[in-house]
Every structure is written in C-alpha cells, then in structure tokens.
Amino acid sequence: MGGLVQGMVQGLTEFLPVSSSGHLVLFSYLFGLRGDLPFVAFLHLGTFFAVFIFTFKKIIFVLKKPLLIIMLVISTIPAGIVYMIFKDSVEKSFNPKTLPLAFSVTALFLMFASIRTGEKKMEDVSILDATLIGIAQAFALFPGISRSGMTISAALLLGYKGEDAVYYSFLLSLPATLVGGIMNIEGAGAQATLGLISSLLFGLLALFLVKRIVNVGKFHLFSYYLSFVAILTYFEVVS
C-alpha cells in the first residue's frame, strides 16, 4: 500500500509545480514510509512513461528539429554538473528539515512567473535561454524545489508562451527521469513496482492539469499552496 500511495504522490506532484521529491520526503517522514533517494528516483520511471505518452507528438516534432534537440541537451547539462559536484549534498538534502526553505524558494519563483507573459515559441529557444532554464532545473535536485515549477517559471520569465513553456519543461524531464529510474532499478522490489504504475497513471492526470492551469494563467496560485506547506512543515518538522 505504501508504494501505491507514494507513486500517487510522485505522479501528481512531479508535474504540478509543488516538488514531487519534497512531498515524498514529507509524506515518508509523516507516515513512516520509505523515502530514500534511490526509491524516490526509481518512481521517476513511472513519470517518464507518463511524459512519453503525453508528449509523443511533440517528441516526433522535436526529432525533426536538430537544433531544438541540441537546446534540450544544453538545458540538461547544468543539472548533471551540479549533481556530480554536489552529489553528497544532494543525497543529504533528502531530509525533512530542509523542506520549509526549499518549498519557499519554489513559491517565490512561481509568484514571479505570473508577472510576465510572452509570445516566444519552443523552437525559438536560444543557447542563453536553454542554459538559464537548465540552471533553474539544477536547483530542483534538492527536494522541495519543484523541477516543473522552476523550469516553467524560467521559460515564462524569458518570454515564452504558456503552452510552449510547459512542453519544453515536460520534454526536458525525459532524460533525467529515465536515467534516475534506470540507475535505481536494481532491487526495487514489489512495493516500488506498484509505485511505478501508480506514478504513471497519476502522472498522466497531472500533465493534463498543469497544461490547463498554465494556459488559463493560474500557475502562480500554487505559490500560495507551497507557502502554506512550507509553514506547516516548519512547525511539524523543524520547530
């Protein structure tokens, strides 16, 4: 049952801008469930398949745009560099006491993202924009900082249309979720397998929700939720 619940949390919160890893660490702490980095990373395989299904047409589109593929690769590099340099710090950050600050950082970015809208399309991404979005993604290595929240916010602040910002963020998640899941597949066990299936199904639901929310200009509302969670987590875990 724990695997199913954690998979549900992973699936819903991976794409909603609230940090899946942060919520998994919090739920694991509150309910005594497994919440270590390898288990959390394995559950990302479910969300990888969810994105693959949801963005299949966009993947075909990207494969016809070599320059866009290069931009996505550029956006992936910062997170890889940060992880290699700060691997120990990242693993130690999977601690509920770091969550209030991390949730607050995400909330702040989501609020700023509401101040600008643009008309730039995904295929117009420049090297500078790709790098900045990649840097935003690198912060999300730490639980409580949302990968989708940071990358979509960065794209919106750089002047991209809502739907294009969303799809770029979704496509950018594919390499990280695939590699993280495969690296931790050994010894995952039945509980993690159930969690993977659950994260796939709820991930698809979250993908449709976040696309709709961004398109109607309500993305910043999640900042209020995260501010509340940050305060609640502080009093529950830290104080």
Q: Which of 104, 90, 99 is nearest to 25 (CA)?
A: 99
pLDDT one-digit tens code per residue, 114-127: 776 688 999 999 99
- Which has more confidence, 223 or 219? 223
Confidence of residue 135 (pLDDT cuts 50, 70, 90): very high
Q: Say if residues 200 and 78 touch (Cβ distance below 8 Å).
A: no
Q: Say if residues 40 and 230 touch (Cβ distance below 8 Å).
A: no
pLDDT of residue 217: 84
pLDDT one-digit tens code per residue, 60-100: 999 999 999 999 999 999 998 998 898 888 878 778 888 99
Q: Say if residues 125 and 118 touch (Cβ distance below 8 Å).
A: no
CA dihedral (45, 46, 51, 56) in degrees, to 10, reads 90
Confidence of residue 172 (pLDDT cuts 50, 70, 90): very high
Q: What is d(CA 93, CA 156) in angstroms, rounded to the nearest whole number?
A: 28
Residue whose structure tokens are 């998994």: 24
pLDDT one-digit tens code per residue, 159-168: 999 999 999 9
pTM of the model: 0.86
pLDDT of residue 56: 94
Q: What is d(CA 22, CA 198) in angstroms, rounded to the nearest whole number?
A: 18
